[in-house]
Amino acid sequence: MAQEKEATGAIEWRIKMADGSSESLAPTEARGCPDIAWLALKGLVVGLVMKVCDFLKKAWDLGHKEPIKVTHGVKVGMALTAVSLFYYMRPLYEGVGGNAMWAVMTVVVVFENTVGATLSKSINRICGTLLAGFLAIGIHWIADRSGKDFEPFIIAFSVFLLASAATFSRFIPSVKARFDYGAMIFILTFSLVSVSGYRVDELFDLATQRMSTIIIGTCLCIVITMIICPIWAGEQLHTLITGNMDKLANSLDGCVADYFNDSGDFAGSDKESDKKLLGYKCVLGSKATEESMANFARWEPAHGRFNFRHPWKQYLKIGASMRNCAYCIEALNGCVSSENKVSELTKTHISNTAIKVSSDSSMVIKELARTMKTMKKSSAIDLLVGEMNNSVLKLQEDLKSLPKLFINPQPPLQEPESPGNNNKTKAEAAAVALMDIIPLVTLTSLLVEIVARIEGMVSAVQELAKLAEFKAVGDRKANQNQTTNKVIPDQSALQRV
């Protein structure tokens, strides 16, 4: 049959669909060239259309989920149209070789998603251009004086030296974090001015014009980015950290509760609890985002509730302490869902206290999130931490009383035995008991470790409260009244537990 296929020269066209499925057109008897070409073209077009549709669907989903990104696109479009029309309409416009280009280029390159990033790039661009311009004019002047023979060598050597040094400097962490773009613009401007054949006095005129267009471009960007739906890197960092805290609290809660309620059977867990468990994974993977946002936030002026010198670096420490905690939750999640099953008797013995510890811990985390959201010192945090520590002690006590449960009730249930063998049997019972409770012991140890790491989070947030001068709250009631609706469910959770 396979040979037959080959013999008839039938060709099987497979169109790789964008979604991974493949459509197999039925093998056809030997056809003419135009037919084959037509089929090939058809397959290609269908494949392409599918890919484009898929891409558009993805784009639509993204736009629907994060309209802020669509807004950014529209803002860039507006800025570019404004600067284009400005230069297009000007009577003294001199074509693309003129200055318009620099304004357009500035807008395209400098306009970033957040205010901080735009400001950082604008300032970098202006400073880099200025510094490189002056330096290049100085070297041009020296090269001019040293005669026609030496000029190319001086210029080539200076370009080589400064470009190498500036490129290398971009690897130094402190430069990379704040002046990466500035160093690039420095190299660009220096090389451009150096290779230009202009005389020094001409260069000054040119430099003034270019600087003015760059400043027009950056100002336009800064005004548009700050006035129309501004996206502040600081605000985003703040939201990211507090949101991650809530996720962390929920996944800790969910992980322990699921273990005790569903008898460790994770196969039947629905989407809701899966989402909860995914919470800590967001914390694990957010380091790079936090760092870049903190870098940009440092460039931003005072906005909303944040002052100019808001301690953004402290947010990174809070993020690190959260990740520390998330590592343990990840290990906990792995250990409790492993195969080693625990009898229901022992589980129920310890479940209440363990759930109490996890809910107390998540209460502490949620209180920290609330402290950051309201930017007011929490009066309840010490109480909650104390309660959490008490629960941990209680959990350890409960664990200590577990062996009684086994050694006392179990021997009477076993078959009658000789008194001499008694000791050995009991040891075996204890051994069985130990194997039985290993997951519980591990869970307890990890919960103890998680509680210790939550205390690290508490001190990091308290440090932030000190640095950012959070206001103290007089009494608890006032605090409750001031908190938003979003926070109230957590309060009811406190009463429920």
Q: Which CB atom, from 10 or from 335, has the smaller least distance to a copy of itself?
A: 335
For the residues of 214-227, what is the DSSP string, one character each?
HHHHHHHHHHHHHH
Residues in 214-273 at the binding interface with a copy of itself, rule: CB under 8 A: none
Using the structure block, give the residue that is written with the tokens 């867990």: 269
Angle at 119 between CA 117 and CA 122, to 5 degrees: 105
Token representation of residue 98:
């003129």
95 binds a copy of itself (CB under 8 A): yes
Compare residues 320 and 494 and give the one whose CB is closer to a copy of itself. 320
Residues paired with 24 in a beta bridge? 14
241 in Cβ contact with 372 (< 8 Å): yes
| Shortest Cβ 363–a copy of itself spacing (Å) | 22
Q: Which is nearer to a copy of itself, 412 or 489 (CB)?
A: 412
Question: Judged by CB under 8 A, which of 239, 269, 410, 445 binds a copy of itself?
Answer: 445
Q: Using the rule CB under 8 A, which residue among 142, 452, 487, 494 binds a copy of itself?
A: 452
278 binds a copy of itself (CB under 8 A): no
Residue 306 CA to residue 288 CA, distance in Å, equals 22
Contacts of 181 (CB under 8 A, 6+ apart): 120, 121, 124, 125, 128
Subset of 286-305 contacting a copy of itself (CB under 8 A): 287-288
Among the listed residues 200, 196, 198, the one whose alpha carbon sits nearest the alpha carbon of residue 142: 200
Instruction: Write down the number of H helices and E strands in the chain.
Output: 19, 2
Q: Which is nearer to a copy of itself, 332 or 372 (CB)?
A: 332
Among 44, 223, 427, 488, binds a copy of itself (CB under 8 A): 427
- 17 lines the binding site for a copy of itself (CB under 8 A): no
Q: What is the footprint of a copy of itself within residues 171-190 (CB under 8 A)?
A: 171-172, 174, 184, 187-188
Segment near a copy of itself (CB under 8 A), from 133-141, 217-225, 332-340, 356-364? Answer: 332-340
Burial level of 64, CB count in 10 A (0-12/13-18/19+)? exposed
What are the distances in angstroms from CA 358 to CA 253, 257, 258, 361?
6, 8, 11, 5
Nearer to a copy of itself, 25 or 427 (CB): 427
Binding-site string for a copy of itself from residue 102 to residue 131, where x marks contact by CB under 8 A and - marks none: --xx--xx----------------------
Report, in Å, the least distance between residue 156 CB and a copy of itself. Answer: 5
Is 78 a residue that touches a copy of itself (CB under 8 A)?
Answer: yes
Half-sphere exposure of 315 (CA within 13 A, CB side): 34
Q: How many residues bind a copy of itself (CB under 8 A)?
A: 102
